[in-house]
Amino acid sequence: MVKKQLEKLDLQTLTRLCSGVDFWHTAQVTDSEGNLLADSLLLSDGPHGIRKQDKATDHLGIGASVRATCFPTATVLACSWDKALAQEMGRALGKEARYYGVDILLGPGVNIKRNPLGGRNFEYFSEDPTVSGHLGGAYCRGLQSVGVGACLKHFACNNQETSRMTSNSVVDKRTLHEMYLRPFELAIQIGKPQAVMSSYNQINSEYVNQSKYLLTDVLRGRFGHQGMVVSDWGGCVDAVEALKAGSDLQMPHSFGAYDHALQKAVTEGKLSKEEIATSVARTLSCKTSQQKHKEPTQEHETVDFEQQHRLAAKIASQSVVLLKNTNQRLPLKGGVKVAFVGPFVSQPQIQGGGSSQVNACKVDTIADLCAEYDWQVVACAKRFCKKAKKADVVVCFVGDTDLTCVEGIDKASFCLPKHQTNLLRRCKKAGKSVVVVLSSSGAVDTSWDEGVDALLYTGFCGQGGAQAVLDILAGVTNPSGRLAETFAGSLLEYPNFAYYPGRQRTAEYREALFVGYRYFVTRGLTPKYAFGSGLGYADLVVGDVSLLQQGDRWVIGCEVVNQSEMEGSQVLQVYVSQPDCIWGGKRVLKNFEKIWVKPKSQQKVQLTLTQQDFAFFDSDTDAWQWAGGEYLVELGISSLDIVFGETVRIASTLPQSPQRVESLQNYYLGKVDRVTEAEYQALLASPLPPRAYAFVGRNFFWFGKKYLRVDSETSIKMLRYAKGWFGRFVAGLVRCAVRVCKILGKKRIANLILMGAYELPLRNLVVFSGGRVTVAMMEGIVQACNGHFFAGLRKYTKAKRQAKRDKRAKAVEDTIC
């Protein structure tokens, strides 16, 4: 059917289908007779809520969007470790997307949380690919079960926000496949998303959106992705190279720039019409699939937003992690005098900042709901006030905000703001029993927890988070969340602290596979709170564990006994350790299952390992291989709490032994914080790309300072090193605007400038200017920044006049038609 439709389309129509027609829509497909072949698709931001903009359109969350349910963010959902719950949330999001006419939701994000300073960590699940892949796949399956397409993102190695549109992720092939591509592979196998979004960044000096190896050989060839590939907004560097590599849809609207480039390439013989048709066929197949679900059904005609709100609260309640509970301080008994203090008592932090920011239809607050519980609430305030001194228990709410955890900007500190730690100090100094509720995008410094009786980690838990927290404090709900990332004692304990984020041209992945718990376990270091850990009110015991081989599978069986009077849950985690002949981490998660056990009962559980779970990606053969030897299979309830271990023997498939100990000694020992330049280069098996920007000369007019050769890839922040005064002036103007906003207390506006302008490559002026800047005009700006101001001005002016003539000509043509 798709082939027959494509035969009716001319080159101009085909190229128009390779990019958006505005910021969020794709083009309609009509034949030469004007018959509608496929309707336009509406893509909308997610991933934890619908951010559909009715009027103002932007990719940063500036414009107002429709009222929608703000579900817990991915970092919270991951702490549930519950695949069925992730699927249920995806289905609920799908219903709401159908209600608002959204065809494809831009989510989920399955990038690895490589370092706790990542500004967008709240949108991602975990530091582990198995957790990210399984939960991401379940989310996709739920979303698409109601006819809304999932767009898995950001493929791949989009692990920092600093220079995210131009940075070069330098990573060895084994780490790339096992750590950063693996969650995409799992999610595609489980959820079969209709679309995958390519990331802005380069990987090993090649932009992802125009990498044939990643988009065609790996994503489609090895992972079996059948849907389309869409660029991140403004992520297309070269439309021709992107299409040849396998990128189908370049977003947003390029105002003819992409269309013209593709048509010119066909004319010059650099690209064939058949190649364009193949790419369009994938997009058209996605459109055709959506048409099957376009007809309204009774199930999707309306959305019960109260029911959606209750589900958001349920997800939050099953994801909150009880990290500390000294002397069973929680749950709070009835009648106890309680004071609720902190900045989030009246204004909870339900999400991070940026393009995922949802206009929540309803937000629960502690101040509004706390009176419904059987406590004597003596205070409910932002600060520790006089009334709070009368309390038996002070519940202190602290954490990050959407000003510090925001798309486009990495976090500046691992610590909480000083005014919050001062608040905690005052609470403890008063001699009261202190319970801390921590809202953050992930791991933060918790050195202040000495003297704290209980600690609840909630993350950014959506609009129903307050209800979930109060239910746990009161004992109505048993906390069942487990950490999906490692909380270290300080930032210095993370192996990549010295070079994260990459500040100039490169982001170096020197730590390789030793991310998060893999590093801590291999080095024998004890973090503050371990990956997979969490407490509850029920007393569950894991016993009667066995490991049996059944053909090419291994089955781990066990029994979980609940010895308490309250229903409880346990997250069973299966880890595999590789032989000493390869470096892969002492303990690597391969499977997990969350189970619920009723009071005074037991439940038998089985978890399975396959042959793939014992494989590693061999860079030399560019394939998965098995190193012969004994592998240790372990069952644990955290990365440090292991209840069972047994070895199995696996045959080798390697043509030769992978011994490279001499050149990679610190990698074999797990001492990646001591990796030398020579070892890192040996790991990459290629020369290191340039880290620093290449300064090409000295500009004596600017006191002999070195300058950069400006091109379309130069970001506005780097124009401060331009040869021409114009480039330096523009960069200075933007920096000045940021400083003024911060001085005036307008940090949100300052963040928007940093997100939307400071890191922007000059090429993106074409797509983000609303058609006001053409490619030729942008080239004039580049020329002016390189010291040829008047020549650049002439080119810019000439191009602007031509753009006006073209616009008038098109208006006349449209009128005639």
- Give CA angle at 573 (568, 576), nearest 5°: 170
Say if CB 364 and CB 408 are below 8 A apart: no
Say how many Å lie between the first and final Cα of the chain, rounded.
Answer: 29
Say if CB 118 and CB 455 are below 8 A apart: no
Structure tokens at 811: 């208006």
| 232 is a catalytic site residue | yes
Mention every residue, 6+ apart, whose C-beta is less than 8 A from residue 616.
174, 178, 578, 582, 584, 624, 625, 626, 627
What is the enclosing helix (H) or strand (E) of 305?
Answer: helix 305-317
From 767, 792, 798, 801, select the one nearest 710 (Cα to Cα).
Answer: 792
d(CA 25, CA 19): 9
d(CA 116, CA 179): 17
Mention every residue, 6+ apart, whose C-beta is less than 8 A from residue 721.
693, 695, 705, 706, 707, 708, 728
Mention every residue, 6+ apart, whose C-beta is less than 8 A from residue 533.
321, 323, 482, 483, 637, 638, 639, 640, 641
Neighbours of 431 (CB within 10 A): 8
Instruction: Write the secondary structure of 165-188 as one string of H (helix), E (strand) and C (coil).
Output: CCCEEECCHHHHHHHHCHHHHHHH
Neighbours of 544 (CB within 10 A): 12
d(CA 580, CA 617): 16
d(CA 153, CA 165): 15
Structure tokens at 424: 């905690």
Say if CB 154 and CB 109 are below 8 A apart: yes
Phi, then psi, of 135 in degrees rounded to 5 = -70, -40
Neighbours of 318 (CB within 10 A): 24
Neighbours of 790 (CB within 10 A): 9
d(CA 427, CA 156): 44
From the list 232, 259, 471, 673, the catalytic residue is 232
Phi, then psi, of 613 in degrees rounded to 5 = -70, -10
Structure tokens at 296: 């309204």
* Percent of the chain as helix, strand, coil, to the nearest 5: 35, 20, 45
d(CA 643, CA 637): 8
Which residues does the annotation mark as catalytic? 232
